[in-house]
Amino acid sequence: MKIIIFGATGMVGSRLVKQALHMGHQVRAFGRNVFTADLPENDNLELIQGALFDEKEVFTAIKGCDAVLSALGGAPNGLDVTRSLGMKNIVTQMQKAGVKRIVGLGGLGVLNAEDDTFLLDAPDYPAQYIPVGKEHLKAYEFLKASSLDWTFVCSPDIIDAEVTGTYVTNADYAPVPNAYKINVGDLALFMLTELEKNEYVKHRVGISN
């Protein structure tokens, strides 16, 4: 499979690159700093330096791929619109390029609460996570309104740790049991596995170790 990864130099994105190559995929890594990041040398890896908000650059990078992985990050203060407007541009250019499949990364707050409101809107949701949660919500809304075959992984705290292969997932709601954390290695493994298995198309996904 030919995959393009946005946010390829971050903690999650760099794991996606390495695991995708290990699985034998052809990988395009897109970002501003891909040539200075610690990405592996591999004949199946193409580095594409580009700007996330540039329509032409993103379209060109997506064209010819089978699927997209988005691990966009940014500041948590709500002023950084990388997650929302970056996703908007990715969705727009995917539709122009005729690429249908995307697995994107969001946050726990975009999952449903028991009353089917967002966890983000619960009175006891941690205030420090609300600004970035709203950015994730906007990104999800762009996906939901699109014609794409999307999956939006709503992760809890991401731990910089290796793959265990042991984690739980759930569609649209937090998983049970929920440890409110996920190893970055397991998160990347799930995102790549979902690309192939398509178990959660047009769903958000709760995940936990």
pLDDT value of position 75: 79
Query: What band does 184 get if pLDDT is binned at 50, 70 and 90?
Result: very high
Strand pairing report for 168-171 and 181-183: unpaired
Q: What are phi and psi of 96, to 5 degrees?
A: -70, -35
Residues 6+ apart with CB under 8 A from 123: none
pLDDT value of position 160: 97
Per residue in 48-82, pLDDT (tens digit) is: 999 999 999 999 999 999 999 999 988 777 778 99
pLDDT value of position 80: 87
Q: Which residues of 135-152 are buried (b: 16+ CB within 10 A; e: fewer)?
A: bbbbbbebbeebebebbb
Per residue in 133-178, pLDDT (tens digit) is: 999 999 999 999 999 999 999 999 999 999 999 999 999 999 999 9
Between CA 39 and CA 84 the distance in angstroms is: 25
Per residue in 87-119, pLDDT (tens digit) is: 999 999 999 999 999 999 999 999 999 999 999
Rounded to the nearest 10°, the torsion over CA 145, 149, 150, 151 is 140
Residues 16-22 have a mean pLDDT of: 98
Quickly count: other Cβ atoms within 10 Å of residue 95's Cβ.
14
Task: Return the CATH architecture of domain 2-208.
Answer: 3-Layer(aba) Sandwich (3.40)
pTM over 0.85, yes/no: yes
The structural domains of the chain, with segments of one domain joined by +, span: 2-208
